Amino acid sequence: MCSSGYMSMPLALLALSVGAFGIGVTEFILMGLLIEVGADLGVSVPTAGLLISGYALGVVVGAPVLTTLSAGCSRKRVLVGLMLIFTLGNAACALAPTYGLLMAARMLTALAHGTFFGVGSVVAAGLVALERRASAIAVMFTGLTLATVLGVPFGTWIGQHFGWRATFWAVSAIGVLAMIILMALVPADKASDAGPDWRRDIAAMARPEVLLGLLTTVLGYGGVFAVFTYVAPLLTELSGLDPVMISPILLVFGGGLVLGNLAGGKLADRWLLATVLGSLILLALVLVSMSLMLRLPATAILSMGLLGFAGFATVAPLQMWVLRKAAGAGESLASSLNIAAFNLGNALGAWAGGLTIAYGPGLAGLPLMAALFPLAALVVARQGERLSRSATAHALD
């Protein structure tokens, strides 16, 4: 899938990818450093884990707020400003002397997350021809997938050898680099003379087809994290793998993320509706098959690669899907809200997975429960498409 089509993309997409890489590392890095952070700040590992939840909350809150406040501003300046917030937030994390201040710094950093990906998706789509917009979005999100494959393991290694604060200093340096590249490569654009039209943007978001598009994202991605959140116990207790194998297997998962992301973007350029529906069906099939594949070590490893591929094959299509539903009015807000929807899906999936383990069929039933999420998303997406066609038909009457 890394064909000449991707190789000929504008260099400005590289700048967006570097920013996405840094943000991706920041989002997930604490998963590998909870023990070190907890020991240094005198809190338990579960309490340290709340730093991940606090970040997700910051994304959900920051996406609509910062996008709305920056509406009408030059998108290039918005992106550079967001990377400045990101850089200062990570530096504050590195300096935080207490757990409370670290939580505050994490939430400050998270404010930039949703709006960067939201505005960045609009900028990426605007850099290429209409028939290549989903691929451009996928290229930007490649930074996020590479953060999972390369950035998080390397950041964890830095934290374990030089202290967790060194990891945040390293990510701050990535933020500085991203700002320089953004300023150099992203084309300048003018602020809107009319200024932000909040009523128009909110009215666009209130359209049923847009809301159903956002719900499709929540449900579709919820299935991924219902399983991925509990990947360690699934692989050790259900598959019988040694705990030392988890990190290499996560590289297989990450490789699937990269390939699925690029494939989803390429296919969505040609057949957006079919790719949205097809990727959700594929994700449901992969999750169902995992209930059997996790029983054997060899097939368990293969299933993780398939989960990464199917899970991220939905990302660029769903992002493009919501952008199209917004139909030009409030595109940046719709795009940012969809990033918040991905994070809400993460939280919902993790919560449902925990309930399944504690009160349901347990680990063995987790993949089958998770498959219900993309199947529900499939129903919602179909309903959203019917509403869009009905609205188009009425507009033509």
Which of residues 131, 153, 186 is at a domain's end? 186
Residue 198's pLDDT is 62
More reliable by pLDDT, 329 or 311: 311
Regarding whether 237 and 182 lie in a shared domain, the answer is: no
Q: Is residue 24 part of a domain?
A: yes
The pLDDT of residue 58 is above 60: yes
Question: Are 158 and 277 contained in the same domain?
Answer: no
Q: Structurally, how many domains does the chain consist of? A: 2
The reply to whether 175 and 208 lie within a common domain is no
**% of the chain surpassing 70 pLDDT:** 90
Rounded CA-CA distance 317/315 in Å is 6
Domain boundary among 186, 206, 226: 186
Task: Tell which residue, 63, 50, 72, has the closest CA to residue 23.
Answer: 63
- Residue 205's CATH number: 1.20.1250.20
Q: What is the DSSP string of 177-245?
A: HHHHHHHHHSPP-PPPTT---HHHHHHHHTSHHHHHHHHHHHHHHHHHHHHHTTHHHIIIIIS---GGG
Residue 2 lies in a domain: no
The single-letter DSSP state of residue 364 is: G
Grade residue 173 by pLDDT with cuts at 50, 70 and 90: very high
Are residues 349 and 297 part of one domain?
Answer: yes
Specify if 209 maps to a domain.
yes
Q: What predicted TM-score, i.e. pTM, was given to this entire model?
A: 0.77
Upper half-sphere CA count for residue 378 (Cβ side, 13 Å): 17
Both 156 and 208 in one domain: the answer is: no
DSSP letters for 372-386: HHHHHHHHHHHHHHH
Domain hosting residue 19, numbered range: 13-186
* 309 found inside a domain: yes
- The answer to whether residue 7 is domain-embedded is no
What is the model's pLDDT at position 2? Answer: 42
Residue with tokens 């967006």: 16
pLDDT at 387: 76
> Could you tell me the CA-to-CA distances from 291 to 38, 146, 352, 363, 366 in Å, in that order?
34, 28, 17, 9, 8
The region of weakest confidence among 150-159, 234-243, 276-285, 375-384 is: 150-159
For residue 153, name the pLDDT band (cuts at 50, 70, 90): confident
Q: Please check whether residue 36 lies inside any domain of the structure.
A: yes
Average pLDDT over the chain, rounded to an integer = 83
Read off the pLDDT of residues 221-273 as tens digits, 9 standing for 90 and up.
889 888 887 887 888 888 888 877 877 887 888 889 889 988 988 898 888 88
- Domain end, chosen from 137, 156, 186, is at 186
Residue 38 lies in a domain: yes
The alpha helices in 34-74, defined as continuous H runs, are: 34-41, 45-69
Residue 339 pLDDT grade (very low, low, confident, very high; cuts 50, 70, 90): confident
In a domain, 51, yes or no: yes
270 shares its domain with 166: no
Decide if 84 contacts 76 (C-beta within 8 A).
no
321 and 242 together in one domain: yes
**Burial class of 180 by CB neighbour count within 10 A (0 to 12, 13 to 18, 19+):** middle
367 shares its domain with 267: yes
| Residue 8 reports pLDDT greater than 70 | no
- For 200-231, what is each residue's pLDDT tens digit? 666 667 778 888 888 998 998 889 888 887 88
What span, in angstroms and rounded, lies between the C-alpha atoms of 262 and 277?
A: 17
